[in-house]
Structure 1
């Protein structure tokens, strides 16, 4: 068994910024070379971390947790205030959109500039040039100044450069959230391919689902400090539990699937939800008796694999109770030659206990990672029950008398 190479080593790494009371205080500090009416903000505090070749690590946490600061330190954009950080190997960062591009240069010229900044030789870039242009798929714009590019073109070109010239470490900070569904799907395929080739992946995203799908391990940062580290599933579970305990009530407005459709590669054309034969956006149900039916129609590109569908049910305060995915259940959605299809999901005896719930539907790629379209919290379900048992759901169960123990 080959030993893994340590690519990132952090010991007691912190990053602090001086916060000035006014612009005048900043000027005085610069002129006299000493702090003047300042306070320090620690974006990252005393972090110890080791990352080895072949690892795929997701970084999660709320806004302001220090996630982007950590990525910028690893990429060399920032330097630590205290502590020691050592990075071995070539790092390909996908951080701020278009970072490292010169607006006046053409896309082709920026390929050579960006590749050089990443530490690749001109010969390596020339050898990969056509692959980069083909993957970016921006047509004749490759020879136009990048200042004329849309945000989607920026991310296409940046992603193509970073992933075609094989790096040792690929760092992604929400970058693939930009662009259309077709390119996002192609990007996820490329990331999986690089992982299989042994490239180390550091992926930061607010999408916990994507983190768990792409990464074997995860770090949870909170207020600049490491809260948890371990398998992606265990860290995400711990993070979700903590989030639920914050007692932050989130009010969701009713959203029509047509109004909420993303400009992706596939979209819902109709979403209909019925409870006991009654359709609507505000439904009533009885625990253990009601039949909930979800009818979904969609339009997708027939040249790509059929999409998949996910359904989630949340409590009124935003806690997810359950989720179902067609790809998990091994269901391949059928569609006609034009890419039109439909699928139904049925809960024959709704197990939810009394309370108010919301239902969301998602149209996703065949891996169940990229979301093409979504109708979130589209339906409100009020559940009633004939008993006083507390809780959220009724779990299927069976009572046995002592005489039946040996036969169970």
Structure 2
């Protein structure tokens, strides 16, 4: 039997949001600003959510939405704007100038953990209810006009009636699983390599991200702040981070970033964290079933090479918030009805770009010399052709929402 809910536990809302990652939190923020009531349910505690390491690159459009929602004060103060990236291959370096190639667009380095902290603080102070350690156990009445979320919070089983449910709870989340298997189709691709990622207490050795193609495998130089570096190495699937000593990691990074000429050198420092990130692509279609909607990782996953994951999630909920606002203000369901198609157009472009960056820059196991020459030919074209460089820059800095 469901126990009576205490006064602070809502039993009815317009939009029930499952998941307090960037997608769920930003959607709640946007809905609250439009006067639409919602409740956010998150299975983990606040500390876990705010420390969950994920993406760190924000597209121009993502920054614009965060600013419009009032969630960019610290981003504007502490974020690192970047006007390009560097490609390294065949002992050479070539810079892609985003503003020059995209009409002024750029990206920002600002970790997902910080985006989440900012949104959580706003939500708890000025927003709709946000319940941590609220485990959704069932999504009920999914075929009806009034679905419900059954969840456990503070040891009590509760039920939240909703007009709509939005799943921002990841690929294995309760909302995606509530859509009947025959009503959804998932397209997937696996990759035969992973990333070994490290955090190091050392100033970044470059002012912008460096993507390196090497016969030894891919490497990426990124950063979290002016004093903290974030770096990645391509490694075989199943790699144990414990098998990589700090010295081995730095030596391998040096080898993969090496240039044929010049005095550039990778700065070393204490490594404070190591982890292995598997890589895969996934898209679930459609992103709507009745009054259930999917957003972010619940609908799609991209390999991190193209820096699209967090930005796709923001694009999804921006489109969805506009649709709910139109419904709230005019009663029109046109934008809600078009939500899945609108988002999937952008999702598949981002999937293709992420695949392109991944397949062009990584060295597959037992890769043939022919395939390597194809990769180098493509990188040569990007370096030589403004049209090819502009295509890369436009996708990296972010395509329009529609």
Question: Structure 1-normalised TM-score?
Answer: 0.28
The structure with higher relative contact order (CA 8 Å, sep 6+) is: 2
Largest Rg, 1 or 2: 1
Q: Select the structure that is richer in strand.
A: 1
TM-score, normalization by structure 2: 0.28
- Greater fraction helix: 2
